[in-house]
Amino acid sequence: MNLLHEMSVAYGHMLKTDIMAKAKEREQSDAVDGESVENKESTTKHTEKTSELEGTHKLSEEEKEKLSGREAKEKQEDKYGDLPEHIRRMLERLEEMKEELDVLKQEVVQLNAKIDHNNETEKAIYDQKNQHFIQLQNQYFDMIKNVKEAMKEAGVTDMSVLLKAIA
C-alpha cells in the first residue's frame, strides 16, 4: 500500500516537473519572440506550419488569472465560509478524495481492459490497483460519516453542504 502511494506521488511529481519545464520553455520562447520584428515574423511562419491555433493567441491578464485557479479557490473558501475550520478542512479533503477515486477508478478500468489474465505480473498490478481503490473508497465513506458526526456536534443542521461536497 505504501509502495503504491509512493509510486503515485513520485509519478505526480514527475508530471509536475515536466509540465513546469515545458511552461518555462514556452515563456523563454515567447520572450525571445518579442525581441525583434524579424523573429516575430519567422515565429509566425513557423507556428502557421505547425498548427493553425498554436501561438496565435496571447492570454490577457484576466484570462491568466482565471486559468490560475485563484478565483475558484476563493469561491471554494466562500462555499464553506460559515462552517467551523475543522469541518471545512474535512469537506475539502472529501472533495480531494473524490477526485482521487475518479482517477483511480479510470486507471483500474483501463488496466482491466488491457490486462492479460494469464500474465501473473499484470494480474498482480491490477489486483493492487483494485485493492487500493477499494481501500480509498472505504476511507471516503468513513470520512463522510465523520463529517456528518462533526457537523451534528457543531450544531450544523444544513447537510446540503455535505451533499454538495460528495456530489
Indicate if the pLDDT at residue 48 is higher than 50. Answer: no
What is this structure's pTM? 0.51
Which whole number is the average pLDDT over 141-158? 91
Q: What is the DSSP string of 79-113?
A: HTTTS-HHHHHHHHHHHHHHHHHHHHHHHHHHHHH
Q: How confident is the model at residue 3 (pLDDT cuts 50, 70, 90)?
A: low
Structure confidence at residue 37 as a pLDDT band (50, 70, 90)? very low
Q: Which residue has the cell 471545512?
A: 88
